[in-house]
Amino acid sequence: MGSRRFKTVLFVVFAVMAAGLQRAHAEILYDYLDLGTFGGRSSRAYDINNRGQVVGYAERTMTGTVPVYEWDPADPFGFRITGYTQGTVTRTNAFVYDYRRGTMVSLGEPTEHSEAYAINDSGQIVGSVGFSDDKKKAFVAKKGFIRSFSLPSGPIDSSVAKDINNAGQIVGNSYSPGYAWFSTSYHSLENATVYQSLLGAASHVNAINSQGQIVGFSYLNSNSTGPVHATLLSGQTVTDLRTLGVGRNSYAWDINDLGQVAGTSEYQQSYPSSMQHAVIFSGGTIQDLGTLHPGEISWANAINNLGEVVGQSGWAGFLYKNGQMYDLNQLTSLPAGWSLYSATGINDLGQIVGYARDESGATEHAFLLTPHVGVNITGYAIDVTTLQFSMASTVTPEPGTLVLCLAGFGMVGLFGLRRVKRQHRD
């Protein structure tokens, strides 16, 4: 009888302890911030630097007298005003959001179409101004001022700046024709190096690290058809990063300062491309990051200098760390009807940006996730008031969790003592 009672109490005790531990894992690991819009319906965040500054675009709806634009490659900004009209229009405006100040600042003119794709730790921003892929001009910006420019005269009359490193080196693309380019100067693209081909045909670059290594993808055939492979350009050496298994296509989207590349690869022969997984290209190997759920496709959008990757699997943004993929929707508290659709950037402090969608799928909002105070899912603790970080090895439990666990151990000790006294009396 005593043995049965002891087992019953142990069951209750461990149930209480398990509830406490479960609560520790269910606590909010990231604080969610909706960055909003400029009054329009949607916004997206694309990048975040180590100062917590975020860039992307946000829609702005304007009613009244609005300008009508016409594409003009000769114009410094790529288009000129041809007249005005009365009505309601929506424009996408590039923005920079300062985490410490809590403000979103529009770059350029409200009536223009613009998007910001990357920001370095000095606050230098790159992106594009224009209306479509073949009618855009690259821009650089700092302190809210956009300076737009195109590439040297020649076959290229449109350009998009995709990334900038801390040395001010910029990479980007032209869609007419499909050339990639690299500039060593933040102030001018006049001396930019244009790559008409990397692996044999039209190429596209997406990112550059502090060592000047550039990643993107390139067609393998001279007529720019057929397979596309992820590509690494290091100095004058071009490396085909290949694909998983017998996959046909692969793409490189980001590279950290260690040379680790985040991207996507098909893992079997398929056309059109559908069976693809997020991957890390590193040291001649390809690591398959898998998916959140079986049968999904996934792709990796960004990687920080700790090797942490963010991207999208199915309809959810993810964080990949230490061999495990986490659904970001399970690590934070979201408004009803919203979900984190895609994670697009992560800095070395573990802050994550991307965009969320409402349940209709028609509205998107840029978001910022900041690790909750005392939480260690990413391997370090953050003081969010100063954005300083330090290495940590354990998750700091909430006081309530400690109370539950200590209560459990106390019950075990108390019941054990009572059993000893009773046996002694018997």
Q: What is the pLDDT of residue 197?
A: 65
Q: What is the pLDDT of residue 388?
A: 34
Cα angle 335, 337, 342; round to 5: 85
Beta strands in 235-363 (DSSP E): 237-240, 250-255, 261-266, 276-282, 285-290, 298-303, 309-313, 316-321, 324-327, 338-346, 352-358
Cα angle 277, 283, 284; round to 5: 65
The residue type of 419 is: R
Q: What is the pLDDT of residue 374?
A: 58
Measured in whole angstroms, how far is the alpha carbon of residue 229 from the centre of its chain?
21
pLDDT tens, position by position, for the chain (426 residues)?
544 444 444 444 444 443 433 333 445 699 999 999 999 999 999 999 999 999 999 998 877 777 666 656 555 555 566 777 777 878 889 999 987 788 889 887 776 788 999 999 999 999 988 766 567 888 888 766 677 665 655 555 678 899 999 999 999 888 755 678 888 777 666 677 777 667 656 788 999 999 999 999 988 877 767 789 999 999 889 999 999 988 889 999 999 999 999 999 998 876 554 689 999 999 999 999 999 999 899 999 999 999 999 999 999 999 999 999 999 999 999 999 999 999 999 999 999 999 999 999 999 999 999 998 755 444 433 333 333 333 232 333 334 433 443 444 444 343 343 433 333 444
CB-CB contact of 311 with 280 (8 Å): no
Residue 346 structure tokens? 């992560």
The whole model's pTM is what? 0.79
Q: What is the pLDDT of residue 306?
A: 97
Q: Give the whole-angstrom CA distance, residue 288 versus residue 133.
A: 31
Structure-derived torsion over alpha carbons of residues 118, 121, 123, 127, reported in degrees to the nearest 10: -10
Using DSSP's 3-state secondary structure scheme, residue 348 falls into coil
Q: Give the whole-angstrom CA distance, residue 255 versus residue 303.
A: 7
Q: Give the whole-angstrom CA distance, residue 172 versus residue 137.
A: 10
Using DSSP's 3-state secondary structure scheme, residue 261 falls into strand
